[in-house]
Each structure stands twice: as C-alpha cells, then as structure tokens.
Chain A
Amino acid sequence: MMDGMHDVWLPAGPQAATLFQLWIAMLVVCVLVFVGVMAALAIALRRAPRATAATPPDLAVLTRGEPRLHRLIGGAVALSGVLLIGLLVASFLTDRAIAQLPLVDAVRIDLIAHQWWWEARYEPGDPARVFATANELHVPVGRPVLLTLRADDVIHSFWVPNLHGKKDLIPGRESTFAFRADRKGVYRGQCTEFCGYQHAHMGLFVIADEPGDYARWEAAQRLPARAPRSDEERRGFELTTGSTCGMCHTIVGTSAQGQRAPDLTHLAARSTLAAGTVPNTAVTLKAWVANPQAIKPGVNMPAHAFADGDLAAISAYLGSLQ
C-alpha cells in the first residue's frame, strides 16, 4: 500500500517549514525554562539546613527585607514574562507568514469531507474543466494550492503534517486553506477531528508531482472512463451500470451518475480503497464490493450478493478504469 510521509519533522512546504521553526523555538524555550526551574529546585533541596527543631523562629524578615531574594524572584518573573511575550510574538509572526502564501496561478480544489472519505473537485469554477476524484490529491510541485473546505455531515479536520497545520471542515461553513508543496513526494493526511465509527480509516494522500507529471495526470483525469475491452470487462461494465452501483457512484461517460460516493471514473489510478484503508488490488476490490462492512464496518456502502464470477467481472472492469 502507498506509504506516505506523515511527519512534522520533515516539512515539504513553506508553511510547514515556518510552523516547524516555531515548534523548535517553543521546544527550546520550554526546555531551557524547565531545566532552569528543576535546577533551582535541586539547589533549594540540597542546601544545608540552617535550623534545627530547637532553633527559635527567625522573624527578622518582618522588620528587615530580603533584597537578594526579591531581586532573584523579580528577575525570574520578568524573564518569564519576556519569554512568554516573545513566544506570543513568534506565534503571531508565524500566523502572518503562513497566511501570506502568494496565490498566483493557484490550483483550485473543492475538498469535501464525508463520513469517511474525502471528495475532491478540481477547478470547480470551470464546468468545462472540472473533474472529481477521491482520497488522493495530486498537486504540482512549486505551485500554490487553494482548497475550499466543506463538510457534508459532521465536523472533520484536514491535516497533512508535512505541508501545513490543521483546519476543521464544518458543515454549512465554507473555509479556504492554501498550501504549497516544494518537494516531490507522497504525504499522508488524516482526519483529525473524531467524526464517527470509522474516523481512524479516513486517510488521504497528497501526491506532489513534477509539473509535467501533474499535467499528464490532470489531462488523464479529465477524460471519461475507458470503455471495456475484453469480454469479462464488458460483463463487469453491464453489471456495474445495471445494478446498485450507479445510485451512489459516478463513472463519467456511463449511466452511473450518483453523487454520494467516491467517483470511480479513474479508480484504478488510485493506490488505495476506502480512504487509505486497504491497497487497491484485484483481490481487495473484489472483497470490498462483496462486503465492505467486513473491511470498514459502518461504512455507507452495503454488501452485494453477486455470484463469484460476476464479482470477478466487476473487479476486472473497475480495475481497468485507469
């Protein structure tokens, strides 16, 4: 199965890098303060006792102050204030920096979170160029990406740690989210707001391609589904379009036009099924169509009582949708 990076320590974009710097600054300051406090505590504990049980209480402090101690504590409080304000300023500057990503020539994608998968619609503003895919976002290296985030049912949260921080997707509320990938690679994302039974199986992949590769992928995605070639694929095509599949799934260029489940037009070009739950192979595809509940209990797709030969044909057809 595709195994993407999922690591804040390896930022692959300008925003993740800025966030990482802030994270390092906070870590360093907090470690230094922690070490300082622990050192002060150790010194206090190890100091030789100045009194025994028999010593009368020292009430000198009532008449005479302790200027040295006052200076020390005052200094420590002032230092804490300065450090906290420093971190506040650093956090403010980081927020500013990540909000100022230039969006010239941005790739526009509508990202809609569903229980429990991600729907992506590329170039939603242009009906002639729009196409849909699911759970795998291809983006060109070096070009900004502007996501419009929406949720279909409950609150979800989008997080690809190598590229940016988190942002919630809230039903009824549209928000935008910009990022840029500067290094080629596969970055794993995950829903990070508990969204129901299969929240843990709601992954996605951001695949940063060289601009040429991205243009080829984009052009291929915009084509309608490949026509079936062999007899088995043709049988699979008839079963797929003639049964329940098309009520929820779209396969562009066929009668399957449902809008409720992942677009299957180029299913075989994706490397996983069910939002990163299982690898996309002929065996898992067959098992998934036969009984999705066995793989991802609670998922909205029902089981199907196809005969074994029919399942193989459906799997062959879907597996041919490059």
Chain B
Amino acid sequence: MCSHYLDCAAVACALLMLAACEREKRDFNPPPAGASVGASADVAKMLDHYERNASALAAGKRLWTWYNCNGCHANGGGGSGPPLMDDVWIYGGDAMTIYRTISEGRPNGMPAFRGRVPEDQLWQLTAYVRSLSGLAPMDAVTNRDDAFLTRPPEAMLDQPDPERARPSAGSGQR
C-alpha cells in the first residue's frame, strides 16, 4: 500500500518536471531578421516565448554585451545611460515599452536598433532588461556569469511589485 502511494508520488513528480521542459526550449529557427512582427506582436505570446524561457534570457544576457548595451548602461547600474536594475522607469517597464525603446530609440542618446537587430533578439534583450530589475520569473532568469559581477545575480533579486513597471513620476526627461 505504502509503495503504491510512493509510485503515485513519483509519477506526480515526473509530470511536474515535464512542465519545466518549456523553460529551456530553444528555437533554432527564429523569424528571420527584417521580418516585422514587432508592431503586431502579441505580448502574452512574447512572455511565453522569451521571458519565461531560460535560454532566451541567457541569449539576451549575451547580446547585452555583444551589442554594447553595457557601453552606456554598464551592468545595469547605469553610466551615460540610465540604470536598469532599479525600479525607476522613464518610459515604463512593461515589455512592449522596453521593446519600443530598443527598436525605435529614445531622445538624449538611445539609438534605434530596428533593422540592425533581428526581431527575436530584440525580444530576448527586452526579456533580459526586465530580468535585471527582477521582473522576469525567478525560475527562468540566468544565474551564471562569465565576468566578475558588480551587482547581485538576477536570480537573487527581490521580486518587485509589477505595479512599479510603470513610468515613474517626476523622472520625465533624463
């Protein structure tokens, strides 16, 4: 009888683990660069594809240095660009706004990367930027770093109130 319950528990655990398969699903055939899906992208789908996906978040983390985001925003702490690891958002911290900030650029220095960075990479970067301030799910964020880190790892950040992903009052122009 006891072993019967154990079997059931083992099967339940195995089924639970299946749910994590999506977490590291990697897309070898992303939409090609130049194909425009951003304008009509379904944000909920984007969240499933990128923000809850560990390999997409890790890819975003690599692109962060590859495309020199750290040139201005450093490791998230900010430099000549605003910091991204705090909960202050000039334009808003929701996925679509961050996506637009990266693709269309913003005044005072943020370049537009549309046409330069493929669509799926823009979403990977968006997801990673959100993870910098703890807005991505803790079970999917990267917890590995090649370089010496000057901030807490993404997986050890406090999960902020999602309400705070709105433009912060008084932060208007910077």
Contacts and interface: CB of A to CB of B under 8 A. Distances in A.
B33 A305 contact: yes
| Interface size classification for chain A | 20 to 34
A171 B147 CA distance: 10
Interface string A249-261: 0000000001010
A244 B66 contact: no
Contacts of B118: 244, 302, 304
Interface string B20-35: 0000001011111111
Given A260-B66, A302-B33, A302-B120, A244 B28 contact: no
Chain B at the A interface: mostly helix, strand, loop or mixed?
Answer: loop
Nearest to A259: B66
Given A243-B116, A244-B118, A260-B66, A298 B32 contact: no
Contacts of A247: 66-67, 116-117
B79 interface: no
B117 A244 contact: yes
A262 interface: no
B115 interface: yes
Contacts of A298: 26, 28
B66 A305 contact: no
Interface string A158-176: 0000000000000110000
A322 interface: no
Interface string B30-54: 1111110000000000000000000
A303 B117 contact: no
Contacts of A172: 146
Specify which of B31, B117, B118 lies most central, judged by the most chain A CB atoms within 10 Å of its CB. Answer: B118
B101 interface: no
Contacts of A302: 30, 32-33, 118, 120-121
Contacts of B120: 302
A243 B28 contact: no
Contact of B146 (A171, A246, A291): A171
B59 to A, nearest CB: 9
Nearest to B65: A260
Given A244-B115, A247-B116, A247-B117, A305 B67 contact: no
B117 A305 contact: no
A305 B32 contact: yes
A137 B29 CA distance: 32
A306 interface: yes
A243 B33 CA distance: 9
A224 interface: no
A24 B31 CA distance: 54
A80 interface: no
Interface in A277-300: 291, 293, 297-298
Contacts of B34: 243-244, 304-306
B17 to A, nearest CB: 23
B66 A248 contact: yes
Contacts of A244: 33-34, 115-118
Contacts of A260: 66
Given A260-B66, A302-B30, 14 more contacts: A172-B146, A243-B34, A247-B66, A247-B67, A248-B66, A298-B28, A302-B32, A302-B118, A303-B29, A304-B33, A304-B118, A305-B31, A305-B33, A305-B34
28 contacts: A153-B146, A172-B146, A242-B115, A243-B34, A243-B115, A243-B116, A244-B33, A244-B115, A244-B117, A244-B118, A246-B116, A247-B66, A247-B116, A247-B117, A258-B66, A293-B29, A298-B28, A302-B30, A302-B32, A302-B33, A302-B120, A302-B121, A303-B30, A304-B118, A305-B32, A305-B33, A305-B34, A305-B35
Interface of B: 26, 28-35, 66-67, 115-118, 120-121, 146
Interface of A: 153, 171-172, 242-244, 246-248, 258, 260, 291, 293, 297-298, 302-306
Give me the 4 closest cross-chain CB pairs, A-B, nearest first.
A305-B32, A303-B32, A305-B34, A302-B118
